[in-house]
Structure 1
């Protein structure tokens, strides 16, 4: 037996290994290499031999899985190193999941069916199948010179942008004749793909097949270290401008694609022909 219905399964956080395989478009046997990492394997369960193997994953862990898979396949890190990155830096998955599985002052009883859950950017609308970047929300992991990892995210908190859009959409829905609300909504929608500035955090480096996180400041700060960018004289502070190679992975897009497939929604690459 499977874990549960695909839409309900995603929001319940219970996914079978085959469902994850389909959501990531990865062969089940090959995917087991990534899922065997303790950060993911600890959430696996199997009622008895021969039954479906399921993983119970929070929204942040589902995002972590999508991010690790993207680092593995797009940045060409090993599956172990990719899993080490998301395990060492859980803030990243939590940040991405805050948009992918957006919730805004909502109790579970108000959205018992997954189609009713808030989706301010319409990322999971059935017709929104073209996978395009969204400037105001999307976060990136940059692999510089095959060893340094940088995290980039919009300076304006994406969840704040989402909450504002959600509130304005609800206001217009409740009173379509509210001209002020409509104008505010249209203005925000028009700016969703404007160029944005990013906060940048140096996460660490890859050496000898292992991810080495950047050390915290004397263990007193729980935030990911970013002081390296505050010292212009530091060699590391010039990584963005002085490098031989850089691979940028849109980790928000990776998480969106995984969720759309898990919900049974169509996913089409940006340059693929339309079906009509």
Structure 2
């Protein structure tokens, strides 16, 4: 009845530029730029720690999908370390602080190579009008969701397990946070960033009333699934196939 899961061990050999290029599916010259930028902004834990690939994967996908230069992506992640922590919660899942790493969502099985979104677990960064950044993460408790899918929780009532499956399958509501904006080659932090609707005030809205939300009104935006990008990188690092 419960999904079978196994502990995941992440002990790769020290990652060279060539190894990182394979994990990121990226050109080695570009990898050196990403590495140098991440190091400058103190984003790397160590070259041997797979968790250190999360910032690199986010910087890369923002760069390649939304033309956000690595330095801006790095400055954003340095200002908001909770983004990296949010991805770690899902991609390096532990039922408790001292437990082994587990895979309740079956992301790192040889039988699940498809690179597809899982809305219940995935974080997004929206790049609005090539300038503004909004981070969106599901509102529900993903740690509790993962625990409900672990085999050792088989003593849970059937109803709890079915509720977890329903949550996993439905489109979540998101907690948006306006991070800041690009100004030329710099990232300008939103010092009042809160998990709330970012507002655009203009000639058609009163400054004394709620403005139009970025989520509702914009010329264009690019939504980047940063969890999926990091998940693919970790799969390649573990020697698992990734099918786009």
Residue in 2 aligned with 1:258? 233
Q: TM-score, normalised by structure 1?
A: 0.74
Residue in 2 aligned with 1:134? 118
Residue in 2 aligned with 1:220? none
C-alpha distance 43-227 of structure 1, shift in aligned 2 (>3 A)? closer
C-alpha distance 227-130 of structure 1, shift in aligned 2 (>3 A)? closer
**How many residue pairs end up in the alignment?**
229
Q: State the alpha-carbon separation in 1 of the partners of residues 208 and 123 from structure 2.
A: 24
Please tell me the root mean square deviation across aligned C-alpha atoms, in Å. 2.8
Matches within 5 A, 1:50-129: 55-57=47-49, 59=51, 61-105=52-96, 107=98, 111=100, 117-129=101-113
Q: Give deviations 1:2-46, integer Å, cap 9, x for gaps.
A: xxxx95128xxx53222221111001112111111154675889x
Among 144, 148, 152, which residue is 1:170 paired with?
Answer: 152
Q: State the alpha-carbon separation in 1 of the partners of residues 59 and 208 from structure 2.
A: 31
Shift of residue 164, structure 1, vs aligned partner: 2.7
Q: Give deviations 1:222-265, integer Å, cap 9, x for gaps.
A: xx434554999344x51111111100000110110000000000
Q: State the alpha-carbon separation in 2 of the partners of residues 145 and 70 from structure 1.
A: 17
Q: Give deviations 1:105-148, integer Å, cap 9, x for gaps.
A: 263xx64xxxxx41000110110111111121111000000000
Q: Judge conservation of contact 1:206–1:212 (CA < 8 Å) in 2.
A: yes
Q: State the alpha-carbon separation in 2 of the partners of residues 42 and 211 from structure 1.
A: 16
- More helix by percentage: 1
Gaps of 5+ in 2: 1-8, 200-206
C-alpha distance 99-43 of structure 1, shift in aligned 2 (>3 A)? closer
Residue in 2 aligned with 1:189? 165
Q: TM-score, normalised by structure 2?
A: 0.82
Q: Judge conservation of contact 1:39–1:83 (CA < 8 Å) in 2.
A: no
Q: State the alpha-carbon separation in 1 of the partners of residues 85 and 40 from structure 2.
A: 15
Q: State the alpha-carbon separation in 2 of the partners of residues 244 and 118 from structure 1.
A: 41
Q: Give deviations 1:140-172, integer Å, cap 9, x for gaps.
A: 000000000000011113223222323xx2233
Residue in 2 aligned with 1:201? 177
- SS of 2:120 mapped into structure 1: coil
Q: Give deviations 1:178-224, integer Å, cap 9, x for gaps.
A: 7x7455434422441201100010000001111111014xxxxxxx4
